[in-house]
């Protein structure tokens, strides 16, 4: 006997494509009608990608046929595909004065997302852009420490909060709004609210780019963001080992499912350059991300080596791009930031759907190739040759 309860229980087994959560938990199932052995399901999703809707229709039908439905009709309501900027979109933008949103994600934790986001943001600001950085890692907010503002309290203006200024970048994090060392035990829905508030209730100025440092994985935070603002592009950070790359593939797949154009992959901890000998060692491997970039028709934005100054800068709140601009790593971040900006302009000019390779341009004050002694055909330091 088919009942709404057992249909709902079965639908709880249907995962939203690219995510670990099911469509019931996400709140996408709007109505269920049962007549004899025929079931009608009404679903509303946030992705405008036709393949996502088609995949869902198929998986819902098979799931319900398995519990005895003779006929399954699934109506999937999707937002219209974007015409102007291609993005995630449910058409919503709760931070309309921000021109471009860049989501920095990774499949795995600890690969260097926050380090990358902080240094790219400072690099782009040093190239004359108005840049903000939102720490969307609600459970583990590390941005205030890495930006050297861990003890800075933000200024409250009425019901809103002014972002904290550091190294030419506007910054806000849940870590800046809580007492130091507090941990958050929040339900998913509260995480979604928190991210929305960080976008809506912070007095961001008219930014060219707002970088968003995501928690690792593909979950609520990523979906909430895609539902709240038109994400211009996504960057995926990974380390070169195969185990990290497997998770990276999931992260890239998530961008595609959310219709977010991919700016590129950042291969972090890509080799170690010995500061004494300038010799390069492949600790986790090197250059392993290129096949994955090809598969997703995107580029490797840059390869960032392990450099002790990067870790020290992170811990001390003195980012390498700002404090050691002459270092190899800082130069590579500068080139990556410049390539990223080119990509953003390309996405905006084209209305967004293409992820074609772009030719890098060189930011002011940075030599075209900063890889000391590297052969021209065996590296991808971000110099593009
Ligand atoms: N290229 C690098 N060279 C040296 N140390 C690095 C490099 N990249 C990151 N690190 C160090 O690795 C550690 C993890 O980096 P980070 O916190 O940026 O990772 P994450 O992906 O944001 O982690 P989480 O998933 O927990 O948010 C930090 O101590 C950071 O300083
Ligand atoms: Mg982090």
- Closest to 244 (Cα-Cα) out of 114, 376, 110, 148: 110
CATH class of 101-350: alpha beta
Q: What integer is the mean pLDDT of 366-383?
A: 34
Q: Would you place residue 182 in the very low, low, confident or very high pLDDT band (cuts 50, 70, 90)?
A: low
**Any atom of ligand 1 within 6 Å of the Cβ of 113:** yes
CATH domain 4-77 topology: GMP Synthetase; Chain A, domain 3 (3.30.300)
Q: From the CA of 298, how far away is ligand 2's center (Å)?
A: 23
pLDDT digits (tens, 9 = 90+) for 69-97: 999 999 998 766 544 444 454 556 788 88
Query: Could you report the per-residue pLDDT of 106-121, keeping only the tens digit for each?
Result: 988 999 999 999 999 9
184 Cβ partners below 8 Å, 6+ apart? 138, 139, 174, 178
pLDDT of residue 229: 86
For the chain, domain boundaries = 4-77, 101-350
Q: What angle do CA 125, 319, 233 make, to 5 degrees?
A: 50
Q: Which two tokens mark 74?
A: 């699934």
pLDDT value for 334: 96
Pocket perturbation via mutation, ligand 1, pick of 108, 112, 306 by most ligand atoms within 8 A of CB: 112
- Residue 379 token pair: 């590296």
Instruction: Tell me the per-residue pLDDT of 137-176, one tens digit each, with 9 for 90 and over.
Output: 888 899 999 999 999 989 988 888 999 999 999 999 988 8
| Contact present, 106 and 237 (Cβ < 8 Å) | yes
Ligand with minimal distance to 305 CA: 1
Atom of ligand 1 minimally distant from the CA of 106: 21
Residue 28: per-residue pLDDT: 87
Q: What is the pLDDT of residue 104?
A: 96
Token pair, residue 78, equals: 């999707």
CA gap 205, 170 in Å, rounded: 8
Alpha-carbon distance of 206 to 228, in angstroms, equals: 17
Q: Is pLDDT of 356 > 90? A: no
Q: Does residue 307's CB lie within 6 angstroms of at least one atom of ligand 1?
A: yes
């Amino acid at each position: 006997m088919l009942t709404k309860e057992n249909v709902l229980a079965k639908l709880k087994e249907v995962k939203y494509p690219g995510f670990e959560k099911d469509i019931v938990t996400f709140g996408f199932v709007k109505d269920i009608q049962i007549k004899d052995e025929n079931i009608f399901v009404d679903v509303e999703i946030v992705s405008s990608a036709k393949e996502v809707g088609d995949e869902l229709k198929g998986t819902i039908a098979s799931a319900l046929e398995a519990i005895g439905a003779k006929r399954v009709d699934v109506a999937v309501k999707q937002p219209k595909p974007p015409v102007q900027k291609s993005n995630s979109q449910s058409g919503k933008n709760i931070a309309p004065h921000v021109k471009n949103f860049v989501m920095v994600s990774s499949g795995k934790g600890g690969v260097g997302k926050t380090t990358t986001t902080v240094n790219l943001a400072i690099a782009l600001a040093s190239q004359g852009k108005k840049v903000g950085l939102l720490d969307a890692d609600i459970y583990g907010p590390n941005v205030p420490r890495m930006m050297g503002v861990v003890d800075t309290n933000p200024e409250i203006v009425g019901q809103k909060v002014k972002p904290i200024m550091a190294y030419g970048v506007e910054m806000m994090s849940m870590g800046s709004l809580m007492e130091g060392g507090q941990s958050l035990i929040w339900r998913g829905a509260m995480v979604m609210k928190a991210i929305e508030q960080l976008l809506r209730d912070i007095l961001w100025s008219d930014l060219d780019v707002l970088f968003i440092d995501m928690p690792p994985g593909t979950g609520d935070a990523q979906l909430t963001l895609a539902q709240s603002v038109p994400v211009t592009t996504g960057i995926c950070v990974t380390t070169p080992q195969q185990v990290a790359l497997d998770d990276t593939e999931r992260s890239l797949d998530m961008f595609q499912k959310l219709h977010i154009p991919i700016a590129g992959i950042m291969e972090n901890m890509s080799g170690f350059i010995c500061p004494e000998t300038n010799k390069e060692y492949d600790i986790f491997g090197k250059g392993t991300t290129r096949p994955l970039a090809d598969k997703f028709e995107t580029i490797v934005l840059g390869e960032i080596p392990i450099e002790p100054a990067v870790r020290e800068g992170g811990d001390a709140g003195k980012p390498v791009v700002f404090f050691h601009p002459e270092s190899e790593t800082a130069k590579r971040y500068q080139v990556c930031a410049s390539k990223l900006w080119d990509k953003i302009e390309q996405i905006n000019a084209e209305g967004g759907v293409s992820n074609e390779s772009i030719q890098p341009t060189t930011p002011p004050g940075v030599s075209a190739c900063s890889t000391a002694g590297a052969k021209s055909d065996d590296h991808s330091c971000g110099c593009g040759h």
